[in-house]
Amino acid sequence: MSSIVVDGTPRTFLSPQIIQHIQKHALQRDSGSFEERNSFIEQRGSTQFFESFSLDPPKKCERMYSFPLTSKATPSPSPIEVFDASTFKLRKYRDRSTIYISDTTASICFDNMVRIDSFCREVFKRHPVANSEKTMISLLHHRLAKNNACWVPHLECVYFGDTDPDTFRPLDTNADVISHEFGHAVIQYAGGLQYRNQSGALNESLADVFAIMTKHYLSKVKANDPNASWLVGEGIVVSDKAKGALRSMEDPGSAYNNPRLGKDPQPKDMSDYRTTSEDHGGVHLYSGIPNRAFCLAAKAEGGASWEKIGKIWFQALEQGKPDMLFSQFALHTLRVAHLEYGDNIANIVGQAWQQVGVNFAKTISLGQLAAFIGGGLGTAFIANTTMVALMDPEKLTSFKLGGIILGGCFGGLALANRLEKRNLRALGMQI
C-alpha cells in the first residue's frame, strides 16, 4: 500500500465544451432580458463551479490494490445512500435498509448502485469506494451540476444535476452514467490518475471501461457479441441524428450529432491528437483513443470484456504512475498481458494499441522494453511483429522483425547493452 495525492477536480461525465454549447443554444432561443438570460445560464450549471474544485486541498489516499485476485473472497455489500440535494438541507431518500421518501428516480438510481457494487465486488473483489466498506453516496437534483454528473474526489460522492428535457434524458437513472461516475471512485484508489492531459484522458477512459464492463456483465454478453453495446451514456441524448449517446468506444466521434450539443468531436487515433488547454488538457476529448484500444482488444480476444482484457487494464492502472502517458499505460497493459495470459493475449493487446496509433518510440527504447518486460521473469519472451511495430523503426535496422528474444532480467539487460552500448538498469513496475 502506498500514498497518492488526488487533485480536487470533479470527474464530470460531460465536458465543459458540451455545457457551453448548451448555454449558447439557450441564449439563442431566449428572448428575455439580460438578467433573465444570465439567470437561465446559471440555472443550467456553471463550468466555473467545476473549475473551482481544483483550488480545494488535494486529497491524500492510500492506494489499494485488487490484484492478484487468487484466493480473494467476495467482500460484503457496500452501504448505499441516496439523497435529495435540491435544497441546502439534504434529505435522505433511502439506504439499504429503509425507504425514507418514496421516489421513482431515487429508487432507479439506488438499484443501479446496488448492481455496480455487486459487479465490483464479484469481479474485482473490492468495494467501489476506497476498496473498503465506505458508503456509496449519490446526491440527486444538485443545482450546481445542471445537465451533468460528477464524482467529487474530496467528498467521495456523486452529484447528479437535473437535465433540460429537450436536451438530455435524466442522468441519475442512466446505468452507464452512474457506473461511469463510480468508476472514478475505483480509479481514485487504484491508481489516482491525475485529471489533466493524457493521464486525465486515461482517467475518463477507464471510467468508461468500468461502465461498459458493468453493462456487459449485467447483460451477460461477450465483447464480440452483436448485441454487446459499446455506447456510453446510451439513450440520454434527445432528438439525436446519430446514436443518442455521449461516447462510442467502438467508433469515437459517432456518438451524437445534435444542434444543442454539436457533433461528437472525439478522434479515433493519435493522428488527430493536439495539445490543448481546454477541458484540463482534453480529458473528455481524447479518452476515445484508449477507449477504442480497449474495445479492439476485448473484441479480438473474444471473451467477456470484464475478464481477461478488463483485468489487464485495471491491473495496469494499479502498476502505473498517476501521471502516466498513453504509451506508458499501454506498456503496462502489454507487460500484464504477457505475465498473466501469455504471448497470444499480449499480441492482441499490442495490435489494439497499434491500431489507435499509440507507440513507445518516445517512451522507451527496444532495449529498455526488453528489460522492462523481461525484468525478474527468468523466462524468454519472443517479441512478435506487433510489439516490434510499436517501437521506433529506426532502432530496429539491425534486427529481424518477429524474431527478437526478450529474455529474463539478465537477458533483457544484455540485449539493452547490445542495442544501446551502455548499461541500463532493469526498469521497475513504474516508469
Position with higher pLDDT, 304 vs 401: 304
Which residue type sits at 248?
S
The yes-or-no verdict on residue 102 having pLDDT over 80 is: yes
- The C-alpha cell at 8 is 480536487
Q: Count of alpha carbons within 13 Å of 381, Cβ hemisphere only?
A: 36
308-319 and 175-190 helices, crossing angle to 10°? 40
**Judgement on whether residues 141 and 66 belong to the same structural domain of the protein:** yes
Q: How far is CA 323 from CA 53, 198, 243, in A?
A: 19, 8, 33
**Judgement on whether residues 257 and 367 belong to the same structural domain of the protein:** no
Give mean pLDDT, residues 328-333: 95
**Judgement on whether residues 77 and 189 belong to the same structural domain of the protein:** yes
Total domains in the fold of the chain = 2
Give the residue from 267, 282, 297 where a domain finishes. Answer: 282
Task: Report the C-alpha gap between 282 and 232 in whole angstroms.
Answer: 18
pTM: 0.81
Q: 155-169, 206-220, 378-392: lowest mean pLDDT where?
A: 378-392
The yes-or-no verdict on residue 399 having pLDDT over 50 is: no
The yes-or-no verdict on residue 265 having pLDDT over 70 is: yes
Give mean pLDDT, residues 53-79: 69
Q: How confident is the model at residue 367, as a pLDDT?
A: 55
**Judgement on whether residues 276 and 402 belong to the same structural domain of the protein:** no
Whether 162 is in a domain gets the answer yes
Whether 353 is in a domain gets the answer yes
Whether 425 is in a domain gets the answer yes
Cβ-in-10-Å burial (0-12, 13-18, 19+) of 264 comes to buried
**Judgement on whether residues 170 and 89 belong to the same structural domain of the protein:** yes
Indicate the DSSP class of residue 256.
-
Whether 175 is in a domain gets the answer yes
Q: What are phi and psi of 8, to 5 degrees?
A: -85, 5
Residues in the chain: 431
The yes-or-no verdict on residue 64 having pLDDT over 80 is: no
**Judgement on whether residues 150 and 244 belong to the same structural domain of the protein:** yes
**Judgement on whether residues 37 and 141 belong to the same structural domain of the protein:** yes
Q: Are 342 and 372 in contact (CB under 8 A)?
A: no
The yes-or-no verdict on residue 402 having pLDDT over 90 is: no
Position with higher pLDDT, 419 vs 112: 112
Whether 159 is in a domain gets the answer yes
Query: Which residues are identified as catalytic?
Result: 181, 284
Q: 64-68, 106-110, 165-169: lowest mean pLDDT where?
A: 64-68
Task: Report the C-alpha gap between 370 and 365 in whole angstroms.
Answer: 9
**Judgement on whether residues 198 and 58 belong to the same structural domain of the protein:** yes
Q: Count of alpha carbons within 13 Å of 64, Cβ hemisphere only?
A: 18
CATH code of residue 65: 3.10.170.10
Q: 67-81, 211-225, 397-411: lowest mean pLDDT where?
A: 397-411
Position with higher pLDDT, 57 vs 389: 57
- The C-alpha cell at 339 is 505475465
The yes-or-no verdict on residue 395 having pLDDT over 80 is: no
Which residue type sits at 16?
P
In 117-258, the DSSP E strands lie at 136-140, 149-152, 157-160, 231-232, 247-248, 257-258
Range of the domain at 372: 325-330+342-431
Give mean pLDDT, residues 85-109: 95
Q: How confident is the model at residue 2, as a pLDDT?
A: 62
Average pLDDT, the chain: 79
- How far is Cα of residue 314 from the mean position of the Cα atoms in its chain? 10
- pLDDT, one tens digit per residue, over 237-255 is 998 889 999 999 999 999 9
Position with higher pLDDT, 176 vs 361: 176
The yes-or-no verdict on residue 393 having pLDDT over 50 is: no
**Judgement on whether residues 262 and 356 belong to the same structural domain of the protein:** no
Position with higher pLDDT, 376 vs 308: 308
Give mean pLDDT, residues 397-410: 35
- pLDDT, one tens digit per residue, over 1-46 is 566 667 768 788 777 776 665 655 444 443 333 333 233 323 333 3
Q: Are 41 and 229 in contact (CB under 8 A)?
A: no
Q: How confident is the model at residue 259, as a pLDDT?
A: 86
